[in-house]
Structure 1
Amino acid sequence: MAIRTILHYPDPRLRQKAQPVERITPEIERLIDDMAETMYAAPGVGLAATQIGEAHRIFIIDIAAEDEPSNLMVFINPEILSKTGEEVGPEGCLSFPGVSEDIKRATALRVRAQGRDGKTFELAADGLLAVAIQHEHDHLDGVLMIDRVGMLKKRIIQRKMQKHAAS
């Protein structure tokens, strides 16, 4: 396992659309291990393969609190089947260090994906898990949190990221 470099906005690779995973190979398993090590080291609650420059439709999430055991969830070739409700809440992103913005998301959803074992599963999610799934799923389509804010906030984030890149 290795900690990978997390791409920061405005790296153009963050806009790359991820490609479906055809088979779970040892390389894909290594990628998932690297993603987990990278996410925990950051620290974060989710990471998409595209955030480390890998164009595979994979993301991982672990929303366990610090005093709870780890609960790493692997989503390969995920598709959101349905969404309900709507709420606005704060989100951060490992590709936007130091940035937190209120983002509108569905309050609940149903997702289908393959797990690390290649078996397909469906999951109903709400709360933080639903937000994390939507956030990471966006990454697989090249959609970033900056795309979900108004023009003024977008400019503020862009300036903040320019300062971050210069430091």
Structure 2
Amino acid sequence: MRHGSIPGARGRVLPMTLFGDPVLHAPCEEVTEFGSELERLVEDMFATMYDARGVGLAANQVGRNVRVFVYDCPDDEDVRHVGHVVNPRLVSVEGIVLRGPEGCLSLPGLEAGTERYDEAVVEGFTVDGDRVRVRGSGFFARCLQHECDHLEGRVYVDRLSGWRRSWVRRKIAKAPWGR
């Protein structure tokens, strides 16, 4: 992505991968080639995320088994954070654990109280191969943890237990896309 360009402006909207698709439940592979194909994927992911009105999107949510995510997410102070991370590693989670509403573009229309740390740090690379370190707090920290989970083959439902997990599983079974 060129400096100063609007993320997703040149991208195309890709089909969303829905819960139950095997690509969502397997760890993603490291990106080994940086170039125009990766840049195009990131642009398409931004376009897809904006079209779906999301705040984050992992590559496996559009059927690509590679370690990339994009985000356009506010923190609890309403500061907007926009970017992408290639080969991200969640290197730190700190602070208190909060249960808050969490949804997912791959589970449309569903949301459940999910526990996440209120501070997170992710390290990785840009599409140009430059190192990047992203620090988030509040809702943005939740987003960073959520997207890193996706790339490990996990969805937020995997973090639920008890009645919350049962409730979401019942809702998934009744959803038109969950059958």
* Fold shared by both chains (TM-score > 0.5): yes
Q: How does 1:107-122 map to 2 (within 5 A)?
A: 107-122=118-133
Measure, in 1, the Cα distance between the counterparts of 2:120 and 2:74. Answer: 19
Determine which structure has the larger strand proportion and give its number: 2
- The Cα of 1:83 is off from its aligned counterpart by 1.2
Please name the residue that 2:115 is paired with.
104
Q: RMSD across aligned C-alpha pairs, in angstroms?
A: 2.1
Of 27, 34, 47, which residue of structure 2 is paired with 1:17?
27
Please name the residue that 1:52 is paired with.
62
Aligned partner of residue 87 in structure 2, secondary structure: strand
Q: How does 1:1-167 map to 2 (within 5 A)?
A: 1-64=11-74, 71-85=81-95, 86-165=97-176
- The Cα of 1:61 is off from its aligned counterpart by 0.6
Amino-acid identity (%): 34
Q: How many residues align?
A: 165
- Deviation track 1:54-86 (CA, whole Å, cap 9, x = no partner) reads 011000110159xx9975311101111111121
Measure, in 2, the Cα distance between the counterparts of 1:77 and 1:127. Answer: 23
Runs (5+) with no aligned partner, structure 2: 1-10
Measure, in 1, the Cα distance between the counterparts of 2:12 and 2:79. Answer: 22
Measure, in 2, the Cα distance between the counterparts of 1:69 and 1:142. Answer: 29
Runs (5+) with no aligned partner, structure 1: none
* TM-score w.r.t. length of structure 1: 0.90
- Deviation track 1:147-166 (CA, whole Å, cap 9, x = no partner) reads 01114322322232232226
Measure, in 1, the Cα distance between the counterparts of 2:134 and 2:88. Answer: 11
- What one-letter code is carried by the residue in structure 2 that aligns with 1:75? V
Measure, in 1, the Cα distance between the counterparts of 2:145 and 2:109. Answer: 20
Determine which structure has the larger helix proportion and give its number: 1
